[in-house]
Amino acid sequence: MLSGTSDWQRSIYMKRYLTVLIAACLLAATGIAGAQNAPSAIPASDFKYDLTNDADGVVIKSYIGNAAEVVIPAEIEDFPVLELASNCFNDCASLQKVVLPKTLKTIGDSAFCETGLESLSIPDSVRDIGEWAFANCRKLKTVTFSAGIECIAASAFFGCSALKTIILPDSIKAIHSAAFQEAGLEAIVIPDSVEGIWREAFKDCKNLKTVTIGNGIKAIENSAFKDCSSLTTVNIGVKEFPEGEGY
């Protein structure tokens, strides 16, 4: 039986110790770098806000900063952020990116109208998007919709000329008037869940070439696809519509 550790054994132990130590240092450094690179929420002082009518959370009334990227906090003064009020970010031309909290339920009318947004991801918590909410966001290229939204409000994406493609979730039941009028859409698939497409919903989508409409459709109002001058293919999942409806 050996009474001590030989030099070569001590050398192996030392190498193993150094390897573990270096690995730990690298992991720590990676964690610190990740924390530094992760976007942080904008301070509450950059917003005007109040309690909701039910006093169960915060409604952000307006943004008073000028950052190009805004991460909206999930909580303000220990209350969850539930709503973005009408015109909250309206005319913030410098705004290119916004991160919405997973607590958010409502995006008000014209909340981001005429901003410089380039992409948008709407969390599954959101149930309501107001009229003109993202209208005339002419740099908006991509939108990921919440799985809980049941309708696209009137003029919500009016004039979003850079918006080429969208994927609508199966939760949507209606696309309201002028929802995508003058958008840059090239193709659109309407899921089976949609029952109504209201007037002028896709009017003046000059780049729209292909439309596929699911078998749940019950009404397509007049002028829904009016002046879509490039439209060549329309696939509809049903053969008949209620009397008085049109394209």
Task: Average the pLDDT over 163-179 and give the result.
Answer: 96
Task: Average the pLDDT over 214-224 and give the result.
Answer: 95
Note whether 98 and 122 are within 8 A (CB): no
How many other C-beta atoms are found inside a 10 Å radius of the C-beta of residue 237? 12
Note whether 39 and 71 are within 8 A (CB): yes
- Distance separating alpha carbons of residues 220 and 195, to the nearest angstrom: 9
| Structure tokens given for 59 | 């409604």
Q: Which residue would you say has higher pLDDT here, 212 or 26?
A: 212
Bridging pattern class, strands 119-121 and 142-144: parallel
pLDDT for res 113: 97
Length of the chain: 247
Q: What backbone torsions phi and psi does residue 125 show, to the nearest 5 degrees?
A: -70, -25
Residues 6 or more apart whose CB falls under 8 angstroms from that of 201 comprise: 175, 176, 177, 178, 179, 180, 181, 221, 224, 225
- Mean pLDDT, all residues of the chain: 86
106 forms beta bridges with 83, 128
pLDDT single digits (tens) 115-159: 999 999 999 999 999 999 999 999 999 999 989 899 999 999 999
Note whether 149 and 129 are within 8 A (CB): yes
- Rounded to two decimals, what is the model's pTM? 0.81
pLDDT for res 242: 53
pLDDT single digits (tens) 129-141: 999 999 999 999 9
Residue 41's pLDDT band, with cuts at 50, 70 and 90, is confident
Residue 247's pLDDT band, with cuts at 50, 70 and 90, is low
